[in-house]
Structure 1
Amino acid sequence: MSFNELGLSPHILRAVKELGYEQPTPIQQQAIPAILAGQDVLGGAQTGTGKTAGFTLPMLHRLLANHGRGGRRQVRALVLTPTRELAAQVGESIIKYAHHLPFRTLIAYGGVSIKPNLDAIKLGVDILVATPGRLLDLLTQGALTLSSLEVLVLDEADRMLDMGFITDIRRIMKALPDERQTLLFSATFSNDIKALADDLLNDPTLIEVDPSNTAADQVTQRVIQVDRERRREMLSHMIGRGNWQRVLVFVRTKQIADRLAQQMQKDGLNTVAIHGDKSQGARNRALADFREGKVRVLVATDIAARGLDIDQLPHVINFELPQMAEDYIHRIGRTGRAGRGGEAISLVSQDELGQLKDIEALIGQSLTVEILEGYEPSGKPSRQTLPGSKPVQNPPRDRGHANAKSNNAKGKPDAAKGKGKAKGDGPKKPAPARKREVVGEDIGFTPMRRLPKAQRDDYQDNSSEE
């Protein structure tokens, strides 16, 4: 199927062609016809599946069909996102797709002056991309009316709920007309998301390209058990030895993000951290440098990294497992995008094995735990003693070939569409995990001398969550 077969305006197709896209992704094939038909949509899709274009292209087509009513421009399409970065990226995509259309798009988020937003609204805005907080500021000041709204999009709605935006969302809904088309997209379908969909959507079409709680097929998942105080030492060695040029590292808190970035910088790796305490300008510069290859390692908290859209990101590292198992899916979804392969490596300490079980239950898959030679964890064996498991003998060393076994997340496609609410079958019960001991040369690394204790960080400060 080509974009020409979807019934989109020639002006939109021209922009799509100029951007180099030829064939729609699976979610675009399903979402575009449903949205063009005026249906509400409940979409379940991982990042990197093309969902932004999936709702943007038909939204633009609808606005164009009703264009030319005359009078002052009013906001006719609203896209709500949980973070500034996602708002900026979605807004930039809309501007590109609308390059040949007579629409004005405003991107509004907090952390920067509100005056440019107010000036733009006075000139007239057709499409508004905003975070909930900044949108409420504009509504409270009486600078904006949404009475002419035709299309509402809630992007990454699960993250909005995780960040506590449900009250803000309900306040915003009171300012919207009842007669509108509503599109809700989420990477996961929790009970809270289903309840929100029940409240906001009218007989929606359900579009679920990937199973709601499984990891992306293109991502190779690995788990390496290591003592907490040796994680940074091992990570720096892995990046240097493997000559990885673009690595996204996830941590839980702002403090750990800053400390880890400083230590890795001392290790000779050009590293920056992004989190909620960084100014928007600093975050934008860090992301731009990372995309352009000026920065090799980006350390991020879950909230700061939400919405990141970075092409050709081959490596994602979970320096710590997330507190919420669902965030694991969001994290590893940053790699393996647009059909490209990617690798997600979780560095797990003894005290995180319980969290690992929660993740395995969510994705319906057991993950083999590896041990890297030279970084063997201290203390008693962990999951190696589970019934039916036994250590795998080390294969002969071959410096020219990597024999380590990968954990590929292979979820069976189960795309569902049609009228009705989202219904999940529940997570599969994972099989007992096996522990596989892997020597360094097996995966392309050689053992590294352990640093003196004074040079190591334990990174155990989890007291300030973002």
Structure 2
Amino acid sequence: MHFISTAGPPESTVSIMADETDAQEPTERSKEPERLTQIRFDDFPIPTEILAGLKDLGNVYCTPIQAEILPLALANKDVVCLARTGSGKTAAFLVPLFAGVLSTPDRRTDIPFALIVAPTQDLCLRIHEEAKSLGRYTGLELAMVVRGQDDQERGLAFHQNAPIVIGTPGGVIDFYKKGLLKTEGIKFLVIDEAERLFTQRLAGDMRYILRKLPHSRERVSILFSGTLSYRVLAVTYDFMNLPDFVTTTPDQVRTNDIDQSLFHVASEEKLRLLLGLLQRETWKRALVFVSAREEVDFLTQKLMDNGLPAEGVIEGLPQNKRRNLMARFKGGKIKILVTTDDVARGIHVEDITLVVNYRLPQDGETFIRRLGRVTLPGRAISFASEGDAFFLEPIEQKLGYKIPVLWPQDDWFKEDQARATLSEIEESPAQPAKKPLKERREGIPFLTGKKVVFSSEPGGVFGLAVQPKASPNSEPGRPQKRKKRHRSRPRKQKAASKRPSEAIDTTGEA
């Protein structure tokens, strides 16, 4: 895995967003004027090196969230922002972060200046790639710290003292305890997707990290969250310096412009209906959402067995494999990606014209986030089975309307070819019957040196019996006669020696 890079001239491995901007034709999503404001990036005091990187990525005008955050963060104020994925928040914190590093020439070069904490390795990788593209003209180095790196990788990651560190909570703590990550020089902190970082499982790790940083008055802190739970609010008051709260209108995924359909279908029929709909619908790229990693593996294999170009994306996928997979997806070799909500946050690909909710999410916010992956005009299909139909109510409350219901016709279902192949195997001519156990002798070696075989003869224990040793003079393959066991006769009792006084007088004398 590549853990350190110099944000120098453009390379072949740039972020997914950059590749899409350069390689593909403009789509309806990129043409939407509602997503952008009339505020330009060069209206702010941003160094020219950063503006050049923004221009290369096609970013001239700010999104609403960027227009709100940039004036605050560039003025060294703490910010708490309620924003969803895909709203431009990554550039909203990378621009002031790069500006802060470049505007502090007297900073210590032997310790990091900025720290970005994200919940998963996949998200850290995406931030790393976007930072590499955005800061390509700054000459600043980037380091990514995650758990599981060996000592050589650790040394490589911090050999040149990268000023910007991106990591997961576990990776940051691991490197800190090893003495490889110094936190006393952190002047810029970014917490991304705080609603996932401050869950019951990770809240302790995050508070540990925050206590190792300089005081909140000595650094700039930016926090992004999809929801403002009580845990997130507590952190903003305990570890931030009077932050400004920014709540953007949900840049609403224009759900009314997405052709949606809801199918009430039994769990065992969902695969057949999905196969039929993928054959009936017109789509360029499809994103299929499930709820667990095991379902990703199962559904991906089923789609591939039925001749569909599908791949599964799971959390923890090695960086080189993930890049190769995404390149194949963008190149059209893969048409369908099966994934979960957590992993999908790191996928940014245009021309996804179909989203399938194979499993409904448990809340409306996640459902809307899924719809945001569709390039307008697009199509969204949702399955409601007996296991997740009760999630419909909160989803439709969030949407503000009922999802149109379609009742599939019988010919919309397509048989699972993998199952058909299995049926053909089962219906093939029967194989010759195997010999009964009595005639089979499959030896099983035991530690005792004896040989035990399967047997149906009396005396076997659970079908096992000890195999008698073959006579050296016996012919191979010929059943051996059992040797008769001769019991040893009891020994005759020896005549007891008699004492002289007890001897019998045969003479008859007194």
Q: TM-score range by the shorter chain?
A: 0.7 to 0.9
Deviation at residue 43 of structure 1 after TM alignment: 1.0
Deviation at residue 371 of structure 1 after TM alignment: 2.1
State how far apart, in whole Å, the 2-side matches of 1:38 and 1:7 are: 13
1:374 and 2:409 correspond: yes
Deviation at residue 454 of structure 1 after TM alignment: 4.9
| Aligned with 1:349 (options 385, 391, 394) | 385
Partner SS state of residue 294, structure 2: helix
Which deviations, in whole Å up to 9, do the C-alpha atoms of 1:395-440 show, x marking residues without a partner?
Answer: xxxxxxxxxxxxxxxxxxxxxxxxxxxxxxxxxxxxxxxxxxxxxx
Q: Which amino acid aligns with 1:121?
A: F
Equivalent positions of 1:61-80 (< 5 A) are: 61-69=99-107, 72-80=109-117
Partner of 1:460: none
Q: Which amino acid aligns with 1:355?
A: F
1:204 and 2:243 correspond: yes
State how far apart, in whole Å, the 2-side matches of 1:162 and 1:307 are: 20
Partner of 1:360: 396
Partner of 1:16: 54
Greater displacement, 134-143 / 319-328: 319-328
1:447 and 2:412 correspond: yes
Change (3 A) 1:52 1:342: farther
- Given that 1:78 and 1:128 are in contact with CA atoms closer than 8 Å, whether structure 2 keeps it comes out as yes
Deviation at residue 83 of structure 1 after TM alignment: 1.3
Partner of 1:44: 82
| Aligned with 1:152 (options 185, 189, 208) | 189
Deviation at residue 187 of structure 1 after TM alignment: 2.1
State how far apart, in whole Å, the 1-side matches of 2:222 and 2:377 are: 29
Deviation at residue 110 of structure 1 after TM alignment: 3.4
Change (3 A) 1:158 1:3: same
Deviation at residue 120 of structure 1 after TM alignment: 2.6
Change (3 A) 1:373 1:456: farther
Partner SS state of residue 67, structure 1: coil
Change (3 A) 1:370 1:134: same
Change (3 A) 1:20 1:281: closer
Partner SS state of residue 100, structure 2: helix
State how far apart, in whole Å, the 1-side matches of 2:110 and 2:143 are: 12
Deviation at residue 237 of structure 1 after TM alignment: 2.2
Which deviations, in whole Å up to 9, do the C-alpha atoms of 1:339-390 show, x marking residues without a partner?
Answer: x5544332111442211112234x1523224123316xxxxxxxxxxxxxxx
State how far apart, in whole Å, the 2-side matches of 1:186 and 1:79 are: 14
TM, length-normalised to structure 2? 0.68
Change (3 A) 1:452 1:105: closer
State how far apart, in whole Å, the 2-side matches of 1:452 and 1:139 are: 52
- Given that 2:118 and 2:193 are in contact with CA atoms closer than 8 Å, whether structure 1 keeps it comes out as yes
Q: Which amino acid aligns with 1:447?
A: W
- Equivalent residue pairs, number: 381
Partner SS state of residue 356, structure 2: strand
State how far apart, in whole Å, the 2-side matches of 1:107 and 1:311 are: 26
- Given that 2:90 and 2:127 are in contact with CA atoms closer than 8 Å, whether structure 1 keeps it comes out as yes
Partner of 2:270: 231
| Aligned with 1:102 (options 122, 126, 139) | 139
Partner SS state of residue 86, structure 2: coil
Deviation at residue 202 of structure 1 after TM alignment: 2.0
State how far apart, in whole Å, the 1-side matches of 2:318 and 2:140 are: 30
Partner of 2:354: 315
1:334 and 2:299 correspond: no
Deviation at residue 286 of structure 1 after TM alignment: 2.9
Deviation at residue 63 of structure 1 after TM alignment: 1.4
Partner of 1:85: 122
Partner of 1:133: 170
Partner SS state of residue 405, structure 2: strand
Change (3 A) 1:332 1:136: farther
Larger radius of gyration: 2
State how far apart, in whole Å, the 2-side matches of 1:341 and 1:68 are: 51
Deviation at residue 10 of structure 1 after TM alignment: 1.6
Deviation at residue 278 of structure 1 after TM alignment: 5.0
State how far apart, in whole Å, the 1-side matches of 2:325 and 2:193 are: 23
Partner of 1:306: 345
1:4 and 2:39 correspond: no
Which deviations, in whole Å up to 9, do the C-alpha atoms of 1:39-69 show, x marking residues without a partner?
Answer: 1111122221111111111111121111244
Change (3 A) 1:127 1:342: farther
State how far apart, in whole Å, the 2-side matches of 1:91 and 1:126 are: 13
Change (3 A) 1:160 1:360: farther
- Given that 1:85 and 1:308 are in contact with CA atoms closer than 8 Å, whether structure 2 keeps it comes out as no
Change (3 A) 1:198 1:325: farther
Partner of 1:423: none
Change (3 A) 1:373 1:201: same
Partner of 1:59: 97
Partner SS state of residue 8, structure 1: coil
State how far apart, in whole Å, the 2-side matches of 1:270 and 1:134 are: 35
TM, length-normalised to structure 1? 0.75
Partner SS state of residue 406, structure 2: strand
Partner of 2:71: 33
Change (3 A) 1:448 1:360: closer
Greater displacement, 324-333 / 169-178: 324-333
State how far apart, in whole Å, the 1-side matches of 2:147 and 2:319 are: 9
Change (3 A) 1:23 1:164: same
- Given that 1:111 and 1:279 are in contact with CA atoms closer than 8 Å, whether structure 2 keeps it comes out as no
Q: Which amino acid aligns with 1:171?
A: Y
Deviation at residue 94 of structure 1 after TM alignment: 1.2
State how far apart, in whole Å, the 1-side matches of 2:323 and 2:57 are: 23
Deviation at residue 119 of structure 1 after TM alignment: 1.7
Partner of 1:400: none
Equivalent positions of 1:175-324 (< 5 A) are: 175-178=212-215, 179-211=218-250, 220=258, 221-276=260-315, 278-279=317-318, 281-323=320-362
State how far apart, in whole Å, the 1-side matches of 2:345 and 2:299 are: 19
Deviation at residue 249 of structure 1 after TM alignment: 1.1
* Identity across the alignment (%): 29
State how far apart, in whole Å, the 2-side matches of 1:280 and 1:144 are: 22
Partner SS state of residue 42, structure 1: strand
Change (3 A) 1:351 1:85: closer
